[in-house]
Structure 1
Amino acid sequence: MGLSALFRRKPHERAGFELYGKAVAAARDPWFFGPLGVPDSLDGRFDLVGLHVALLIRRLRKDPDRRGAALAQAVFDAMFADMDINLREMGVSDLSVGKRVRAMWEAFHGRAQAYEAAIEAGDAAALAAALQRNVWRAEGDATPEARLLAGQAMRVAAALAEQPFAALLRGEARFPVPEVPADAA
């Protein structure tokens, strides 16, 4: 491997970062932290970013184009590169960053599997229960807020499924704005 290989971009790296940025922007919608009551904390923000990224990665992996899996990996890599940078900026010591990123990876992986299983089954109740456990750190019956977030996640999954792969490959993704039901406003 020559020196130039160290500076060469990986395939889909730019699109991966663009798509990750779109997921982060969607996860920062004030509706989540205001009316929905997601804790506006490091954990709450991580959970919402993780949810949006998991939905995006699910969409990319399901695409019949063989590049879908590589683009999904690029989004994943962008997320955890960002997590590493953020931890360092927050003052986490260099020796602890790797352990913290690994713990975040494990948390993300477990959540993504639970969300995907519920979405694949079309089971909004199971998705709401998983969100209740992960976002609000609460057991028991899903709250109305968890059910609203599950509905939004199902809408996001459906909207991403409709988007052409060519646009995603260019780093373009549209996340629907949260819909607040009339009886929940």
Structure 2
Amino acid sequence: MNWLRKLLPGNTVRADRAAVSNLYAAILKRARNPQVFGDDGFADTMDGRTGALAIYTSLVTTRLSAISQRGRVLSSRLTDRVFDDIDAGLRETGVGDASIARKVRTIGERFVGLGIAVNEAFLTSDPQASIHDILERNELTGGTGTANVADDIIDVRRTLEARSDDSLLSGLLDW
């Protein structure tokens, strides 16, 4: 009877919500890790923090999208979840309704741009140098932090590639 429950639409929606929540929690844990900020990591600024979130999210969503149609759906839902959280965060800081859309759009454009740039860096002959350049150009890191973050991004990509499709579709992501 358990196999029948898996076929019912309500269970798929519930499973997808759980997977998105788990993936988002793992991304936030990685992006908010205090050890990846400061002189040896991302700049501890709003741009540095949203940059970290953008990069780690884009690595996960790109991997999900490459799996299947369900992976593309989860990727889209995960992106929606991230932006819902950004919107809520801006509202909590007192940003007025009139400027929320503009701020979310600005963050979104940067978010998407960073994600595309980092994923394209892996298509170059020297991903390390390309990621290093992206981080510096966008002023996300400084000093020894640039090399450390570039190494971390490459490690995250390797970790995601090593994860089974089923584990990612289930929302299982331990860094």
Fold match by TM threshold 0.5: yes
Deviates more, 1:155-164 or 1:166-175: 166-175
Confirm or deny: 8 A CA contact 2:41 2:144 kept in the other structure.
Answer: no
CA–CA distance in 2 between the matches of 1:165 and 1:90? 38
Partner of 1:33: 37
CA drift at 1:66: 2.2
Q: Which whole-Å CA distance do the structure 1 matches of 2:53 and 2:98 have between them? A: 25
Shift in Å at residue 54 of structure 1? 1.0
Partner AA of 1:29 in structure 2: N
Instruction: For structure 2, list consecutive stretches of 5 or more residues without a partner in the other structure.
Output: 1-12
2:6 equivalent to 1:15: no
Letter in 2 for 1:169: L
Q: How does 1:1-185 map to 2 (within 5 A)?
A: 12-63=16-67, 65-121=68-124, 122-136=126-140, 143-175=143-175
TM-score if structure 2 supplies the norm length?
A: 0.83
Paired residues of 2:64 and 2:169 also in contact (CA < 8 A): no
CA RMSD of aligned residues (A): 2.0
Secondary structure class of the residue paired with 2:55: helix
What letter is aligned with 1:162?
A
Structure-2 separation of matches of 1:39 and 1:107 = 16
What is the letter of the counterpart of residue 132 of structure 1? E
1:135 and 1:54, CA in 2 relative to 1: closer, same or farther beyond 3 A?
farther
The structural deviation recorded for 1:10 is 8.5
Residue by residue over 1:113-142, the C-alpha shift from the partner in whole angstroms, topping out at 9 and shown as x without a partner, is 11011013352101110011224378xxxx
Give the structure with the higher percent helix. 2
The answer to whether the 8 Å contact 1:27/1:49 transfers is yes
Q: Is the 8 A contact 1:27 1:48 kept in 2?
A: yes
Higher relative contact order (CA 8 A, sep 6+): 2
For residues 157 and 132 of structure 1, do their structure 2 counterparts lie closer, same or farther at Cα, with a shift above 3 Å needed?
same
TM-score (norm 1): 0.79
Task: Tell me the alpha carbon deviations over residues 41-98 of structure 1, each in whole angstroms, 9 at most, x when there is no partner.
Answer: 22211111111101111111122x2211111111111100100110001110011111
> What does the per-residue CA deviation read over 1:10-34, in whole Å, with 9 as the maximum and x for residues that have no partner?
8823322321121010112222114
**Residues 23 and 53, structure 1, Cα contact 8 Å, conserved in 2:** yes
How many residue pairs are counted as aligned between the two chains?
A: 162
Structure 2 Cα separation of the partners of residues 10 and 89 of structure 1: 28
Per-residue Cα deviation, 1:93-114 (whole angstroms, up to 9, x for no partner): 0111111111111101111111
Residue 174 of structure 1 aligns to a residue in which SS?
Answer: coil
User: Partners in 1 of 2:156 and 2:148 — Cα distance?
Assistant: 12
